[in-house]
Chain A
């Protein structure tokens, strides 16, 4: 006997529409509601089978939450449940102009380490990256909703590139602030 929580897709599980723009408040609320009934702590007095099931469901809820919370993972998951074939993570983009921009951004992040006003300069790059990410997300939604999955995959991949640079910048800012 399969529990529905283990077979529903992540959007169904969280009671959300299968779209890219989801309400983070609804997402968090659903996460807490689901954990409140399925977390193993709620099944301490149950039999072994029920305990095991609760671990499985709670694991799936956590996995779903993590996927839906992250824009890159969410975009990939949306494509996947709509039948698109995703190339693996390591595939790159053919858009050379975009790649040049990425290299330039990466170098700008590294350059923050040297010289005066490191933090201020890093914040300028941060704003630029945020704008870039938002633009790519809009592009993804447009392409995805028009059913142009191959192009949507390209947008998703670019979002991932930008996210990586954001993480790199984040790490750098942490080092700059640390004493």
Chain B
């Protein structure tokens, strides 16, 4: 093999054609982008060498700031600075109202939309758009350091994310103009980052305590295939809660009252800083710079007492996941630690005690997920054709439909391997009924009101029949990303129903289109303008060529009707030349070319005949 790789002298060997692909960890507190370069996964740093990008976005009237610059404005301009937006993904108006005392923002209901917007000086924005800004920023970073835009991305989500939250993440990728290869569960990505696919087969627990979410996943590794046996966790439990617990302690100790948004920020920032200090030291100093300045010492043991209930809550979720997987904790071969909050010593100790083994925390717990995502992206891009690695996932929460009396009938159980499809048959209960509605929910509870509403599907257009005669087969399909779609067919007639999806907490396709158009940045406008100019030039060329040809031999070669058909299309093109967009012009040009096909062929033949006339066979260069 080596012989073939030797290059000619003076000629550098052609670089292996790799398709650029990146993995993105779109985190609650921080986000990262990573890529596999020369066979090694690395997090891509910004121009100042920092790989973390704080998941904070600041809007003012003129510009959008993302990352450190935005985070720096948190304390001074909290209303226009959005942090932890991941918590708002796939959430509705009622959910954010519940968050009203946690976040300082003003939420506004957008017209004809189920998705709340945050009011800022720069306008009203949904969580999808705000996350999209973070993605754009990371994609830009990737483009700069890789020397080209990525062809595809893998974005990680907590394994616990429901359908609406996954859809929202997918929509954010779309908003950012990224080609999404796959949504990957964060814990699976972590196991991949540790290269456990190279290890002996066995069971792995991934304990992921991030800023805003906790996930526990039980994976089985078998000859390079990772199979998620069970996932569990809490989509609103994380390091932020530790900050809040400590924040409450500060408020109590300092005796603060009248806490406005600015002070609340300061308290949380001080709490976070103390938490980070306590990961290394035995005590930390907390100081709040305020009209009523305050300073105090806190011991690690005190902090541990404050957060112990939170850690216990995570272990309870671990037990449930183990049980769902049908295994004992003694069977776990490795415990992988993920998320910045696993730096907290109490977390490491309690998790170690629970599983009876030392957890793996050699890799930077903030980077692990992005690194794993980039390895998966590299494989999906086709850069590693020999890789056996395959990540099989399960549905994190049961899918059900609403039945009589507001009860939930499970269609697909939690922890079912995905992709998966289930079909159900319904019939009509009225003569001539041509439509029906299905309310799909996600969750484990009996009552629909206790589950998460996903969407209402209106099925229309099946043929009218006598009541009870129609057989409507509804198929619920969950894809490999955990996203659900519904199709329906009346089986006796084979007529497919039209389906109108009304997402309960998601953006409709229409809304995303509108946002995309609104966000179309200058670069894109330039591209569109250039494409239009190119098409206009092409259109003029086509018109001139046709005119010239028709003058020459149009009447000789074409019948009256053929001639008028070509003129008709040519005139249509000329009429729309200045006003049409590039797509329409392209179509019109095509129409002229199509209608003149026969004419062009005849002209070719005629000119060939003319060229050949009077020549000897041997002069013709065949």
Contact = CB atoms under 8 A, between A and B. Distances in A.
A66 B419 CA distance: 12
Interface in B312-330: 312, 316, 319-320, 323
B433 interface: no
B595 interface: no
A44 B152 contact: yes
Contact of A41 (B323, B391, B477): B391
Contact of B319 (A56, A60, A62, A174): A174
A150 B225 CA distance: 41
Contact of A174 (B320, B392, B421, B480): B320
A178 B329 CA distance: 13
Nearest to B323: A174
B390 A59 contact: no
Contact of B392 (A35, A55, A170, A179): A35
A39 B392 contact: yes
B390 A63 contact: no
Nearest to B421: A59
Contacts, number: 63
A83 interface: no
Given A32-B223, A39-B392, A59 B319 contact: no
A36 interface: yes
Nearest to A39: B390
A45 to B, nearest CB: 6
Interface in A57-90: 58-60, 62-63, 65-66
Given A39-B480, A40-B479, A41-B480, A32 B222 contact: yes
A178 B181 CA distance: 40
B368 interface: no
A59 B419 contact: yes
Given A39-B392, A44-B380, A62-B420, A32 B320 contact: no
A178 B316 contact: yes
Contacts of B181: 44
Given A32-B222, A35-B390, A62 B480 contact: no
A77 B480 CA distance: 26
Contacts of B391: 41
Contacts of B182: 41, 44
B122 interface: no
A177 interface: yes
A28 B222 contact: yes
A45 B382 contact: yes
Contacts of A36: 225, 388, 390
A42 interface: yes
Nearest to A51: B479
Given A41-B182, A41-B480, A178 B420 contact: no
A55 B480 contact: yes
Interface in B267-283: none
B477 A62 contact: no
B417 interface: yes
B390 A65 contact: no
B417 A177 contact: no
A63 to B, nearest CB: 7
Contacts of B480: 39-41, 55, 58
Interface residues on A, range: 20 to 34
Interface in B77-130: none
Contacts of B435: none
Interface string B354-393: 0000000000000000000000000111100000101110
A59 B320 CA distance: 26
B421 A63 contact: yes
Contacts of B421: 56, 59-60, 63
A28 B222 CA distance: 10
Contacts of B438: none
B525 to A, nearest CB: 29
Nearest to B181: A44
A35 B393 CA distance: 11
A63 B319 contact: no
Given A28-B222, A40-B480, A58 B388 contact: no
B418 interface: yes
A60 B477 CA distance: 11
A62 B417 contact: yes
A66 B418 CA distance: 11
Contacts of A56: 421
B477 A55 contact: yes
A55 B390 contact: no
Interface in B165-187: 181-182
Contact of A65 (B223, B320, B379, B417): B417
A86 B420 CA distance: 24
B240 to A, nearest CB: 25
Given A174-B323, A177-B319, A178-B316, A59 B392 contact: no
A66 to B, nearest CB: 7
Contacts of A45: 381-382
B416 interface: yes
Interface of A: 28, 32, 35-36, 39-42, 44-45, 55-56, 58-60, 62-63, 65-66, 170, 174, 177-179
Given A32-B222, A32-B390, A44-B152, 4 more contacts: A41-B379, A41-B391, A59-B420, A174-B319
10 contacts: A32-B390, A39-B390, A41-B379, A41-B380, A44-B182, A44-B380, A44-B382, A174-B319, A177-B319, A178-B319
